[in-house]
């Protein structure tokens, strides 16, 4: 009886595992990127100097003097002192954005995934 149960279990379990992705890249469809790779880090293509910050956890609004003048960024909360030189990637710009937490409307704010202190990797 036990042999019959084991045989039945193997007959059911083997086909289920045959088509499923396994660890590594051997069962991925052709052209699929490897699953063990991390996506590339965003390019920090903009830079400027912090003029002001407004905390609104879990975010921080950062007024910067950048290559094209003053601008507001919204990024994940990070402590930045006035005068700190920072870099940031492209982001999503929104006009007339109202922050409920700050009860303030920004003419324009760019939402970014991250900011880095200039000189940091």
Taking only the tens place, the pLDDT of each residue in 22-63 is 444 456 677 766 666 666 666 878 899 999 999 999 999 999
Alpha helices in 36-96 (DSSP H): none
List domains and CATH numbers for the chain. 46-117 (2.40.50.140)
Burial 104-120 (b: 16+ CB within 10 A, else e): eebeebbebeebbeeee
* E strands present in 3-114: 46-56, 59-66, 69-76, 85-88, 92-99, 104-111
pLDDT tens, residue by residue, 71-107:
999 999 888 999 999 999 999 999 999 999 999 999 9
Provide the whole-model pTM.
Answer: 0.64
- 24 Rama class: left (phi>0) / alpha (psi -120 to 50) / beta: left
CA atoms within 13 A of residue 56's CA, in its CB half-sphere: 16
């Amino acid at each position: 009886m036990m042999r019959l149960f084991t045989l039945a279990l193997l007959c059911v379990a083997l086909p289920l595992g045959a088509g499923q992705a396994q660890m590594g890249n051997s069962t991925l469809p052709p052209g699929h990127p490897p699953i063990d790779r991390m996506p590339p880090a965003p390019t920090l293509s903009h830079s400027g100097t912090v003029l002001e910050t407004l905390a609104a956890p879990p975010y921080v609004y950062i007024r910067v003097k950048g290559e094209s003048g003053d601008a507001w960024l919204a990024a994940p909360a990070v402590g930045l002192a006035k005068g700190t030189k920072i870099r940031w990637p492209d982001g999503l710009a929104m006009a007339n954005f109202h922050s409920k937490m700050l009860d303030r409307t920004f003419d324009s704010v760019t939402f970014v995934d991250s900011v880095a202190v200039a000189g940091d990797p």
